[in-house]
């Protein structure tokens, strides 16, 4: 199943529902098969780990958990506010994403 989402890795997004509502963060990873994304500093959980090579002490580690993409809005780079995303063909005939509020093309 090949789906297109309104967010990509590296986008700045704002959470619009849940415990972290209103917070902004950068998308670290998109999980298309689960329709979720991992966002930097959002939806933090405490994970209990045994000692291993990476964490010789073991213990409790804070890390980001996936959040459903319907709870995320891309932040418009020009206004720094959440916006909807549209797709259109640019002058070269390539499909690009743009912010509907400002019309600015997103990378």
pLDDT in tens, 39-74: 999 999 999 999 999 889 999 999 999 999 999 999
pLDDT given at position 4: 83
- 1 pLDDT more than 70: no
Structural domains of the chain sorted by starting position, each given as residue range(s) with its CATH number in brackets = 12-75 (2.30.30.30)
Query: Per residue in 57-68, is it b (16+ CB within 10 Å) or e — as a string?
Result: eeeeeeebebbe
pLDDT digits (tens, 9 = 90+) for 21-33: 999 999 999 999 9
Provide CB contacts within 8 A for 55, sequence distance 6+. Answer: 49, 61
What is the C-alpha to C-alpha distance for residues 41 and 55, in angstroms, rounded to an integer? 20
**Residue 59, token pair as written in the block:** 């213990």
Strand locations in 1-107, DSSP E?
12-15, 24-31, 36-39, 44-49, 59-64, 67-68, 72-75, 82-83, 85-89, 95-99, 105-106
Listed residue (47, 36, 45) closest to 13, CA to CA: 36
For the whole model, what pTM was predicted? 0.84
């Amino acid at each position: 199943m090949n789906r297109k989402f309104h967010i990509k890795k590296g986008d700045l997004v704002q959470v619009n529902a849940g415990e972290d509502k209103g917070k902004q963060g950068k998308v670290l990873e998109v999980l298309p098969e689960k329709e979720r994304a991992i966002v930097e500093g959002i939806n933090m959980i405490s994970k209990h780990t045994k000692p291993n090579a990476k964490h010789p002490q073991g213990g409790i580690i804070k890390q980001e958990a996936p959040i459903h993409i319907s709870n995320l809005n891309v932040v418009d780079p020009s206004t720094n506010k959440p916006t909807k995303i549209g797709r259109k063909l640019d002058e070269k005939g390539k499909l690009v994403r743009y912010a509907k509020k400002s019309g600015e093309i997103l990378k």
